[in-house]
Amino acid sequence: MSFYRNIVWFLKGIHEYTRRGYEQAAKHFVPKELDVAVVGRSFMITGANSGIGKATAMAIAKRGGTVHMVCRNKERAEKAREDIVRETGNTEVYFHCLDLSETHKVWEFAESFKMQYPSLNVLINNAGCMMNKREVNDHGLERSFATNTLGVYILTQSLIPLLQKSRDPRVITVTSAGMLVQKLQPADLQSEKGPFDGTMVYAQNKRQQVVLTEQWAKSHPAIHFSVMHPGWADTPAVSTSMPQFHQMMGERLRSAEQGADTVVWLALTRAAGKTRSGRFFQDRQPVPAHLPLAWTHSTPEDVRFFMTQLETLAQDAKKPHTDKLPSFDPTY
């Protein structure tokens, strides 16, 4: 089954996820949908100092939005902010320093942000990481899970009250179509069983993001939730984490702006807000979150166990760190 999933996914990717795939999809875009001004609306973008995050911040700033860049590298983020302000003329661009893998700091940041700012219209969960070897944070959490899943969960959950007070609130999570080869595995969130494969762990984290989005949409109907795949884009993250893939694909990779297009569309347009919450998007269209005949759908029991673990781990992240994590019965 794993071999089947990978073959179908790669063939689909060659056809749809490349620069050519974007160009074909763009023939059906409605350009005027992005002819909008968003002065007075605020947008938080994690990982906004490069790649898709920076391209998204640039597009929103050009339309007058207030941009909150949440990044872990102060020097690169400040340089990116200067670029955005210079190119757009919009000075309402702010930088907040945060490493999403340090989950206790995510709580602190979100609580501080809610005290400082009266509203947040759109949260864009873009930051992510792919680890080549298993590492843990100061709470003993595997770092890619802490960044890609638990950090996203804590940040979003913490900011939901602020989003609910704001006009037309939206949460967009940038995932990867690599999740299509993965079925949710709630019994091994820390990647402790078997050898550590960073690519597969990343894909599993991205499947977790899709499940999270579906659950949030059910629990918070006043907020529009969506998750999207940017395609195979030429970004610093791809060149660093997947150098062989980056070299093999070369000019077939999308630009960062093409990768960011659907994020911007989901964040800004009325058309996106009219779609059903909780969907998975690719090139401005909702698409299936599962490959045909791939057996990747989650059982209700898997989803409940996954969500229970996330909430327990999130609450534990508020406490002073220890070497012992909460234990869970994998048989649930």
pLDDT the model gives residue 176: 94
pLDDT the model gives residue 322: 52
> What is the set of active-site residues?
202
Contact indicator for 177, 282 with CB cutoff of 8 Å = yes
Exposed/middle/buried for residue 330 (C-beta within 10 Å: 0-12, 13-18, 19+): exposed
Q: What does each of the 332 residues of the chain score in pLDDT, given as a tens digit?
A: 578 888 989 999 999 999 999 999 999 999 999 999 999 999 999 999 999 999 999 999 999 999 999 999 999 999 999 999 999 999 999 999 999 999 999 999 999 999 999 999 999 999 999 998 999 998 899 999 999 999 999 999 999 999 999 999 999 999 999 999 999 999 999 999 889 999 999 999 999 999 999 999 999 999 999 999 999 998 887 778 778 877 888 889 999 999 999 999 999 999 999 999 999 999 999 999 999 988 999 999 999 999 999 999 999 988 765 545 554 444 33
pLDDT the model gives residue 245: 79
Q: How far is CA 302 from CA 224, 226, 314, in A?
A: 24, 21, 18
pLDDT the model gives residue 320: 63
> Is the Cα dihedral 115, 118, 126, 53 positive or negative?
negative
pLDDT the model gives residue 246: 78
- Rounded CA separation 182/296 (Å): 6
pLDDT the model gives residue 2: 79
**In the block, residue with structure tokens 């940040």:** 155
Q: Which long-range contacts (CB under 8 A, 24 or more apart) does 316-322 make?
A: 316/139, 317/103, 317/104, 317/106, 317/107, 317/139, 317/141, 317/150, 317/154, 318/104, 318/107, 319/104, 321/104, 321/138, 321/139, 321/140, 322/139, 322/140
pLDDT the model gives residue 331: 36
Q: How many Cα atoms occupy the beta-carbon half-sphere of 100 within 13 Å? A: 25
For 151, other C-beta atoms within 10 Å of its C-beta total 29
Give the domain 2-316 fold: Rossmann fold (3.40.50)
pTM of the model: 0.94
**C-alpha closest to that of 190 among 298, 326, 46, 332:** 326
- Rounded CA separation 149/59 (Å): 26
pLDDT the model gives residue 108: 96
Q: Is 321 left (phi over 0), alpha (psi -120 to 50) or beta?
A: beta
Q: What are phi and psi of 330, to 5 degrees?
A: -70, -10
Partnered with residue 118 across adjacent β-strands are none
